[in-house]
Structures are given as structure tokens and as C-alpha cells.
Homo-oligomer: A and B are copies of this chain.
Amino acid sequence: MAERELAHPEAANLVLTDVLFALSDPSRLAIVRQLADGPMETVGCQTLGGEIPKSTRSHYLKTLREAGIIRNVAHGRERLVSLRRDDLDDRFPGLLASVLAVEATASTR
């Protein structure tokens, strides 16, 4: 990634339909589920998102970041990706919890 400091929307500017869209893809939702367990050092490693190509994963992370679902910041030589749980809970109470409560298998067939 060329830029170290990526843009993140302010919590007050999060848009419900953007958040719903970002969560509506099984691969992006799988990343959100992984991050629900805590932040991850990523991009350097292949953990996040499983066995998907790095370019695809970067695109997923960009969609999630621009919707305000994740934060993606420089962290030493890696990047730290985390769920913006507090911001989401403040803006859209109960939404993230209801999504995460659904079994992953049920959500993706």
C-alpha cells in the first residue's frame, strides 16, 4: 500500500446503507467475524480472510474501512486492523451484535 495513513470516516458520518452493504458479502463478513475476536496485525501475514489473494483482501479491507466498520492503521512495519465496534454500536445500536450473533454457516449457506 502506497499510503501509510488511510482515511476513515468519522463515527458521526457513518451511513447505515454503506455499513449494510459492506457486511453483505460473505468474505467481508468473515473478516468482520475474525476481527470480532480482537485486532489483527495484517497485510503482512495471510491470516485475515483465509486463503484469499492479497489484492482481493486489500479490496475487502478498503470497502470495510470506507464504510467505517474497521480501522486500518500503520503499526510498525505491519498494519493493525480492528473492528470499530464502539463507533458502530453508538451509531447503529444492536446492529453489529445481531449480525455477529448469526452462525457463520447460516450466513453464508
Contacts and interface: CB of A to CB of B under 8 A. Distances in A.
Nearest to A107: B16
Contact of A17 (B15, B98, B108): B108
Number of copies: 2
Dominant SS at the A interface?
helix
A84 to B, nearest CB: 16
Interface residues of A, number: 25
Nearest to A14: B106
Contacts of A97: 94
Interface stretch (A20-28, A34-42, A48-56, A75-83): A20-28
A17 B22 CA distance: 10
Given A20-B23, A25-B17, A29-B17, A101 B94 contact: yes
A107 B21 CA distance: 12
Interface of A: 15-18, 20-21, 23-26, 29, 91-95, 97-99, 101-102, 106-109
**Shortest beta-carbon contacts, A-B, top 7:** A21-B24, A16-B107, A94-B98, A20-B24, A95-B98, A16-B102, A20-B23
